[in-house]
Amino acid sequence: SSAQLCGSRDPAWALLPCLVLQSELGELLGLVHYMEGLRLISTVELVAPTSDENVTVTDTELSGVPVRLFLPQRAPGGLRRAVLFFHGGGWCLGDAGMHGYDLMSRRISNELNAVVVSVNYRLAPPHRFPAQFEDVYSVTKFFLQDKVLSQYGVDPARVCVAGDSAGGNLAAAVAQQLSEDPEVETKLKAQVLIYPALQALDLDLPSYRDNAHKPLLPGALMVRFWSEYLSADPALRAAMAAGRHVPPEAAPLLPLLDWSRWLPADMRGAHTYEGPALGGAGLARRFPALLDPRACPLLAPEARLRRLPPAFVLTCEHDVLRDDGAMYAARLRAAGVPVTHHHAKDAFHGAMTFLAWPVELAVGHRLFDTCMGWLKENL
């Protein structure tokens, strides 16, 4: 089986390089869609919803969307916190029931005495933007209703969204949309963005150049994830790979992701800013998601950012997405939002999921503990 071929069972992201090769071959031979091949990661890792002495775990639905729900067993001693968690996997892979995500949610629930709702949003293919966003938004909006919060004993003033990678993208987008939704009275207390992907216009940032071939998330795989999420048209992937995907209409938005302005000097390094080249007419009509802040939260104007809750942003040095998170942290700060930007110089994309045997890393525990420390103080 693929799992045996690729070695150890957990965490599944360690199998990625091997599955990428198998999936490329399978797609080349017309046997399987590339992402269907990679989805073996999620399958190999799935664990049943199992309660323990601290946390009751169930698979259920909220607002018609499947979720894994984690409820602390100890007496609440008042109203509880709540965390809406969105898993990573490039909008194409991943599951709330993967061992790594189950473990993280379980620990958050137990250590923060929090209700954790981990959302199983629809994946690409076949589901493209905005399906993933709509699922997590619908669950969050449903959960924030007074009657639902009181049903779970949650303090309406202590709810946050959180996510890693593509889930960090969704958490940022949900926070933005909620801030402008007149139907939602409950405000988020915080947002936790763990190495998030936040824009698809400039795929030649210093972090993409520095980490093009680094493990777990090489640049080519990130381009594939973006193209699968934003459109079913294979022409988008080809245009992105060639840097010819930026619609001329994007020109006024490019200052919002001008890394010569928004990145700290040590991340800019010796790189020179030229900005993405504009592609041909018709791109915006064919691929409107490229310009949509619900897909690319870094494109939101400052007026929209001003309304956002305090943020914890984690970035890793050896990660193509490093600069997305660092620029968003800088833009949030410029808009007056309280931001804690924790940059891990020794870490790589996905590091926080390496919390359990047989690939348990000190850096994974350190990043998770840092994140938990911030939540204990700010949620």
| Residue 161 Ramachandran class (φ > 0 left, ψ -120 to 50 alpha, else beta) | beta
What are the Cα distances from residue 335, in Å, to 220, 298, 319?
32, 13, 25
Active site residue 165: yes
CA dist., res. 322 & res. 196, Å (int): 8
Task: Write down the catalytic residue from 165, 207, 227, 231.
Answer: 165
Bridge partners of 192, per DSSP, are: 162, 312
Task: Write down the catalytic residue from 319, 323, 341, 342.
Answer: 319
Residue 133: both structure tokens together: 């966003």
Residue 295: both structure tokens together: 């897909």
CA dist., res. 10 & res. 355, Å (int): 9
Peptide bond between residue 126 and the one before it cis (omega within 30 degrees of 0): yes
Residue 52: both structure tokens together: 């323990």
Dihedral pair phi/psi, residue 21, rounded to 5° = -60, -45
Active site residue 349: yes
Active site residue 99: no
Burial 343-366 (b: 16+ CB within 10 A, else e): bbeebbbbbbbbbbeebebeebee
Task: Write down the catalytic residue from 87, 245, 341, 349.
Answer: 349
Active site residues per annotation: 165, 319, 349
